Amino acid sequence: MVDFQTKKILFRTYSNKCRAYFRSISNISSMTRIFISGVASGFALLFLYAISLGSGYPLIMGSFGASIFLLFAVPNSEFSQATNLIAGHFLASCVGMAFLMTFGANFWLLPIALCFTTVGMQVLRISHPPAASNPIIIFFYEPSWYFILIPTLFGAVIIGLIAFFYRKITSKEKRSTGDL
């Protein structure tokens, strides 16, 4: 058990970190960037929602929603790079489809497909955590190979393009306000 004094110290440390964070985002340029990232996220999600409904696979929105968060909330992360986004989703869907088409939708194969996806992304240095859910979605839907193109590849490219323009807008804003 953690004693009361230790809990008090942990709470104080956490609250100090929270106050420091809120002080750091209280300036107008940080709030503007956060607002623009929210608008860009909603815009990207709107496009992907239409794609997922049109393709008949709405569950893909889960992995794409997490991808959108990474690209717009933490754009400088290694996981948020366009290569990782597109190649990670593509690899994960290819592995999921290969396992599904080769062995069928057996419950015990899903962890093995996820294992291959995780290892493949790390070996190829294209790690994108949200893409790891693609084999799960594939095993639930049992789609055709067409799933790799639409919604997976097309959706990832759309997110990447919107993120590209988002970064262009926010980098201009940083230059004009001197935040670089």
Q: pLDDT (tens digit, 0 to 9) for every residue of the chain, 180 residues total?
A: 667 788 788 888 888 887 777 776 667 777 788 888 999 999 999 999 998 888 888 888 889 999 999 999 999 999 999 999 999 999 999 999 999 999 999 889 999 999 999 999 999 999 999 999 999 999 999 999 999 999 999 999 999 999 999 999 888 766 555 554
Residue 105 belongs to a domain:
yes
For residue 130, the enclosing domain spans 29-177
Report pLDDT for 124. 97
Residue 64 belongs to a domain:
yes
Output phi, psi for 135, to 5 deg: -60, -35
CB atoms within 10 A of CB 112: 14
CA atoms 130, 48, 170, 20: torsion sign:
negative
Residue 1 belongs to a domain:
no
Report pLDDT for 123. 98
Phi/psi-derived region of residue 77, left when phi > 0, alpha when psi is between -120 and 50, beta in every other case: beta
Residue 6 belongs to a domain:
no
Residue 21 belongs to a domain:
no
How many structural domains is the chain composed of?
1
Residue 20 belongs to a domain:
no
Residue 62 belongs to a domain:
yes
Total-model pTM = 0.81
Report pLDDT for 10. 81
Residue 154 belongs to a domain:
yes
Report pLDDT for 86. 97
Report pLDDT for 180. 47
